[in-house]
Structure 1
């Protein structure tokens, strides 16, 4: 397929997503099945166009003064991909399989309109109902912060120190363009262009042998800030597929007791194979069964309880651009309740002098600082540890990071604009 034909296919797909109100991933899968002549490069390019339109659909429609599928794609080409009028016009020349030529109104919009006077929710491409929530956190910077959350994320990897060292793994991934991450001492980063396919990491020898795992740098840092140590008793209360469980296990060096569990046993399904591949031998996975408490034997004895809390996922918008448009106000209320419940469950598990590492992939203060303050009010035996104090124990970049992340009395907030990571909040609570 020509680049112009890919644009035409993307316009049709966007219209289908709008009309049928289906997730973009499903629409792309169905399109690929129905158009088997399209090669993998074509599918990757069309997928990139769709995701970029979803990332910038509000600002693109504003720029073009038109909310149609075609207008949003044209606006995105200028805003997200930086194309000028001549480049866009050359793709839209009306030739076979190409979009129709630009109209006079479209040419005028692409040359004369801008986002200078656009409302923050439009310029930042997020639902208008979220504007007061983001304003509470970022103030006048909310549009800039949200715009950074709309751009495509790189592919980050974490080197598993149980199986290798970063300086050894890095040269072996040079063919993928891997570089060291700026903050995490264990991270590798592969930059991805607009039309780039995700590299087949699962086929790499280092992945097969457990030396690397896919994990955003922010998630790596969140685990690092917990300061898990060899010999400790650690409980990962919301382990899910085990991303942070694996990171914690490596920090423990195979020494101590690590328990991984989750209220949803379906989320735990991948963890067993991942633990085996990563050579983790000190982790016990406890799968919930009915109403029984799988942690009933743990009574105020844990050194660390890690809570990778269920949240709205606002910090992961750059990886899930359609999720922000499907998010509804009621989802926040549900997550706030879930977070309060898991914090209440964690409190009696922690021994005196132990700690809770509370983590979300959200940028909303209701799920982060406010949730922590409410917990401490209910449990005065806990107090917030200054994040730089916790991090400096295991990390030599704490001081520099403090100047980049958004610091509050409750913890650190990472964002794509400030730290180049997904949006993550981390608070460490120590039991007196």
Structure 2
């Protein structure tokens, strides 16, 4: 496919997303099935265009003066891809498979429109209703942080220290030119080309041998801040696919007892193969049956040294990876998540032994899901107290300390927006 044909395809996918209010992955999959002539390179390029357009949807629409799929993509080419108006016009020719030529109004907007007078939610590309919450946590850094949240995320991996060290994996992936992550001691950052098509890490021999996992540096740091130690009794209460379970196993050096579970058994499906590949020791407990079924951790209440709660949340800290999610988020969804978070925190507290630690993690920037959630458990469980983490000086200088925890953000730490808080029982 020509570059112009890819643009036309991206407009088609964006129109499908807008009309049917569906996740971007579903729309891209359906487009690919209906256009089997498109090669893998074409599909990747189209996906990159669509994701970029969703990242910059509000600001691109402002630049172009309308919120149509075509206008958003044209504005994105200028804002996100840095293309000049003349270059964009050369792609919109109306020739075979190319989008219709630019109108005079579109040319004028490309040449003259700016974001100088755009309100913060437009310049920052976020839903207007979440802006007050973001102002509370980001303060004067609001626009720099929102602009960072609208850029592409880096591609990070975590070296599995059960099998290798960072230098060994770096040498094995030398053809990809990885560099050490700024803060995570076992992380590597792999460059991604301008077209957004990253390397197929899952076919690298080092991945197949379990020497590394794909994991954002922020997620790596969140696991490290749990302070899991060899010999401890550790429970990963919202384990999902097992990313942080694997990190915990490495921190524990496969010594002690590590139990992983999740309220949704479907999310646990990948964990077994990932544990096997990594050589990580963990006991997976899968809930079965109805809500009335016996609690799968009933025998472990009051025994845990550490309970990690990687809580279900809005995912606002990952919007640079999942830009469609921010436009589908509604206030009712936030209220549901807050209820879920309170329930899982109460469940976690019952598992702690005296002196045990509850580490609460979200990939969210919203205080309602972070400090307010921790404040709620402190009120409901008077025996719990905050335990501020000890941080490396470089990380201390980069992140934000909040009332009850720490906040990682794209502009300051270069990571997804992770929140971490630690409370202890009785000490």
CA contact (8 A) 1:48 1:194 kept: no
1:8 is displaced (CA, Å) by: 1.7
The secondary structure found in structure 2 opposite 1:307 is strand
Q: Distance in 2 between matches of 1:93 and 1:265?
A: 51
CA contact (8 A) 2:156 2:215 kept: yes
User: For each residue in 1:110-169, what CA deviation from the matched residue of structure 2 results, as whole angstroms up to 9, or x when unmatched?
Assistant: 121111111111111111111222122223432332221121112111100001111101
Per the alignment, residue 399 of structure 1 pairs with: 393
The secondary structure found in structure 2 opposite 1:403 is helix
The secondary structure found in structure 1 opposite 2:337 is helix
CA contact (8 A) 2:309 2:360 kept: yes
Per the alignment, residue 12 of structure 2 pairs with: 12
1:194 is displaced (CA, Å) by: 4.0
Per the alignment, residue 30 of structure 1 pairs with: 30
Q: Is residue 429 of structure 1 aligned with residue 402 of structure 2?
A: no
Where in structure 2 are the equivalents of 1:160-175 lying within 5 Å?
Answer: 160-175=160-175
Q: Distance in 1 between matches of 2:405 and 2:38?
A: 48
Q: Is residue 371 of structure 1 aligned with residue 365 of structure 2?
A: no
Q: Distance in 1 between matches of 2:216 and 2:114?
A: 33
Q: Distance in 2 between matches of 1:233 and 1:11?
A: 52
User: For each residue in 1:242-271, what CA deviation from the matched residue of structure 2 results, as whole angstroms up to 9, or x when unmatched?
Assistant: 100000000000110111111111111111
In the alignment, structure 2 segments of 5+ residues that lack a partner are none
Query: Alignment partner for residue 420 of structure 1, among 408, 414, 420?
Result: 414
Q: Distance in 2 between matches of 1:186 and 1:149?
A: 24
The secondary structure found in structure 1 opposite 2:424 is strand
Where in structure 2 are the equivalents of 1:143-158 lying within 5 Å?
Answer: 143-158=143-158
RMSD: 1.4
Q: Distance in 2 between matches of 1:21 and 1:294?
A: 37
CA contact (8 A) 2:183 2:394 kept: no
Q: Distance in 1 between matches of 2:372 and 2:16?
A: 40
Question: Which stretch shows the higher mean deviation, 359-368 or 81-90?
Answer: 81-90
Per the alignment, residue 294 of structure 2 pairs with: 292
The secondary structure found in structure 2 opposite 1:357 is strand
The secondary structure found in structure 2 opposite 1:366 is helix
CA contact (8 A) 1:162 1:250 kept: yes
The secondary structure found in structure 2 opposite 1:13 is helix
Where in structure 2 are the equivalents of 1:19-418 lying within 5 Å?
Answer: 19-281=19-281, 283-290=282-289, 291-387=293-389, 389=390, 391=391, 398-418=392-412
1:99 is displaced (CA, Å) by: 2.3
CA contact (8 A) 1:386 1:409 kept: no
CA contact (8 A) 1:152 1:194 kept: no
Question: Which stretch shows the higher mean deviation, 308-317 or 373-382?
Answer: 373-382
In the alignment, structure 1 segments of 5+ residues that lack a partner are 392-397
Question: Which stretch shows the higher mean deviation, 90-99 or 398-407?
Answer: 90-99
CA contact (8 A) 1:231 1:252 kept: yes
Q: Distance in 2 between matches of 1:266 and 1:27?
A: 23
The secondary structure found in structure 2 opposite 1:234 is strand
Q: Distance in 1 between matches of 2:185 and 2:22?
A: 40
Structure 1 residues 22 and 263, CA, compared in 2 at 3 Å: closer, same or farther?
Answer: closer
CA contact (8 A) 1:61 1:68 kept: yes
TM-score (norm: length of structure 2): 0.96
User: For each residue in 1:253-307, what CA deviation from the matched residue of structure 2 results, as whole angstroms up to 9, or x when unmatched?
Assistant: 01101111111111111111111111113x1111112320111112322111111
Instruction: Name the count of aligned residue pairs.
Output: 423
CA contact (8 A) 1:63 1:113 kept: yes
